[in-house]
Amino acid sequence: MHKKHAIIIGAGPAGLTAAYYLLKHTDIKPIVLEKENFVGGISRTMNFEGNRMDVGGHRFFSKDENILKLWNELLPAQGAPALDDKILGRESVLVDGGANPEEVDEVFLNRRRVSRIFYRRKFFSYPISLSLQTILNLGLVEMISIGASFLKAKFSQREEKTLEDFMVNRFGQKLYETFFRDYTTKVWGRTPQEIGADWGAQRIKGLSLGKTIVDFFKKTFGSKEGAGETSLIERFYYPKFGPGQLWEKLADEVKKLGGEVLLSSNVKSFHVDANKIIKSARVETAAGMLTFPADYFLSTMPLKELADALDDGLNLRQITIARGLPYRDFITVGLLVNKLKLKNLTKIKTLGDIVPDCWIYIQEPSVKLGRLQIFNNWSPYMVAAPENSVWLGLEYFCTEGDELWQMNSEDFINFAAKELTSIGIVDAEDVRSGVQVKVPKAYPAYFDTYENISELRGALDEIQNLYCIGRNGQHRYNNMDHSMLTAIAAVCAIAGKFSKADIWKINAEKNYHEEKKS
């Protein structure tokens, strides 16, 4: 018999991990409430006509042994080549006794990461580097102009108030305008002039033209590394059917162990008593509004929405901080095409000889498209017919309520397809069908009231049985592994083995500096 209950808000990576750890390490029964009718949150996989779409392109990588162990407990590593590697005779990284993706579905593939920048109809390495290819693409005259503007910036450094100052000081005006200005604006919806310089200090570490030049000479005249395409290659794990497969499996495990995962259950408000203890959650369900009493509440819902739902738990100033937290939203269009117009000029063999990139950063200023996923290269099993069709994800960064967000789905798919043809990636007659997915609050942003977030965190911690975990649950740019780690830390805090305040410090080593020091 379970003595105590925990309500977990959200069946994304953090919520499901919290439920799993509660079941494995305590006698508390978790009830996961998910407002959507699927699990996985932002890391879900959706299915369109037999083609699976990862709404963000989720690489599985972690430096944490516990996370790697849990992932492998849920899905075993690959022990035999995947379909494409087998057909093409490509090398794969295999584990002795691992699962064969050609025979079973529950398997973690070990995939090769290739991603480049597409600009002026040409490919550049990502991050941008001073390679021979870059010089050939831009031309010697432009490279000389980039070099001259870099030297000018070195000798007349600007006072660093904005991100633009920060970037121009490090890269020079010309390179900044060519590669950074428009893309930053596309991603964040704010120009680098509107973003503080400290943001650059936190996120653009160790990258400068000076280092890039040294790197160029090392690569060109030094070791073999970088001379070919090896510098583009890294590996990552990926479930055979995309990230959602892992979260569906974890939800099944939670249910097997005695937890509950209730879909279409939207948590609307909490009753907080005078001692700052949450007594219950009010939840909108198909059966009407229901009340769920519990001993513990673990929240992965956006801080902005949590603050509004907390009844009398916060004061007006704290609620105002939460309401002012900014987000960047996201729209993905899945587009099924016969073939790409782009030619594969690399030495990497692929099915249908498509370009080998998992995703491509689109720097073309003429389009709003930000990134292009090629799901065939993530896992051939994501695509119904990987040898004669290409399954793409076109990613748009936007803000809820803006022009892109409001466009109806059919118009948006047509618009996205037109953008792709306009920059020469596909021919219009090769587009077969498409689907649109909106992802609100995909990116918690560090602007506006974020500088005061520590006040909000302190106030939330005072609510005795509330634990804020995950990405939007903490308003931190957490990846899946960090989101899971916050969940594990919360379970440890409930068990009295970790400090509740320290849950906010997970993934804070680099992000510490992301909080503005007033």
Least gap, CB of 297 to ligand FAD (angstroms) = 11
β-pair partners for 373: 359, 393
Q: Comparing C-alpha atoms, which of 304, 295, 292 is closest to residue 277?
A: 295
| Secondary structure of residue 350 in the 3-state scheme | coil
Do residues 442 and 399 lie in contact, with contact meaning Cβ atoms separated by under 8 Å? no
Q: What is the DSSP letter of 154?
A: H
Least gap, CB of 267 to ligand FAD (angstroms) = 4
Select 146 or 480, whichever has its Cβ closest to ligand FAD. Answer: 480
Select 43 or 184, whichever has its Cβ closest to ligand FAD. Answer: 43
Least gap, CB of 478 to ligand FAD (angstroms) = 5
Least gap, CB of 190 to ligand FAD (angstroms) = 18
Select 138 or 463, whichever has its Cβ closest to ligand FAD. Answer: 463
C-alpha to C-alpha distance for 206 and 184, rounded to whole angstroms: 18
- Contact residues toward ligand FAD (CB under 6 A) are 9-15, 33-36, 41-43, 56-59, 266-267, 300-301, 305, 330, 442-443, 470-473, 478-481, 483
C-alpha to C-alpha distance for 125 and 114, rounded to whole angstroms: 10
Q: In whole angstroms, how large is the CA radius of gyration of the chain?
A: 24
Select 301 or 492, whichever has its Cβ closest to ligand FAD. Answer: 301
C-alpha to C-alpha distance for 163 and 172, rounded to whole angstroms: 13
Select 45 or 149, whichever has its Cβ closest to ligand FAD. Answer: 45
C-alpha to C-alpha distance for 23 and 242, rounded to whole angstroms: 26
Give the other-Cβ count within 10 Å of 487's Cβ.
30
What one-character-per-residue DSSP string does 63-111 give? S-HHHHHHHHHHSPBB-S--HHHHHHT------TT-B-TTT-S--EEEE
Q: Comparing C-alpha atoms, which of 23, 26, 72 is closest to residue 257?
A: 23
Least gap, CB of 417 to ligand FAD (angstroms) = 20
Select 10 or 226, whichever has its Cβ closest to ligand FAD. Answer: 10
Select 61 or 498, whichever has its Cβ closest to ligand FAD. Answer: 61
Least gap, CB of 332 to ligand FAD (angstroms) = 8
Select 146 or 246, whichever has its Cβ closest to ligand FAD. Answer: 246
Q: Comparing C-alpha atoms, which of 375, 372, 374 is closest to residue 363?
A: 372
Select 113 or 170, whichever has its Cβ closest to ligand FAD. Answer: 113
Select 52 or 471, whichever has its Cβ closest to ligand FAD. Answer: 471
Give the other-Cβ count within 10 Å of 50's Cβ.
11
β-pair partners for 335: 392, 434
Least gap, CB of 323 to ligand FAD (angstroms) = 16
Least gap, CB of 201 to ligand FAD (angstroms) = 23
Residue 470 main-chain phi, psi, to 5 deg? 90, -160
| Secondary structure of residue 266 in the 3-state scheme | strand
C-alpha to C-alpha distance for 442 and 343, rounded to whole angstroms: 32
Q: Which amino acid is at 48?
A: F
What one-character-per-residue DSSP string does 316-330 give? HHHHHHHHT--EEEE
Extract the tokens encoding 231.
């510098």
Q: Which helix H or strand E contains 133, and what residues bound it?
A: helix 132-138
Give the other-Cβ count within 10 Å of 419's Cβ.
19
Least gap, CB of 54 to ligand FAD (angstroms) = 9
C-alpha to C-alpha distance for 277 and 272, rounded to whole angstroms: 5
Select 86 or 500, whichever has its Cβ closest to ligand FAD. Answer: 500
Least gap, CB of 371 to ligand FAD (angstroms) = 8
Select 334 or 470, whichever has its Cβ closest to ligand FAD. Answer: 470
Least gap, CB of 282 to ligand FAD (angstroms) = 10
C-alpha to C-alpha distance for 331 and 456, rounded to whole angstroms: 29
Q: Comparing C-alpha atoms, which of 461, 473, 491 is closest to residue 306?
A: 473
Least gap, CB of 62 to ligand FAD (angstroms) = 8
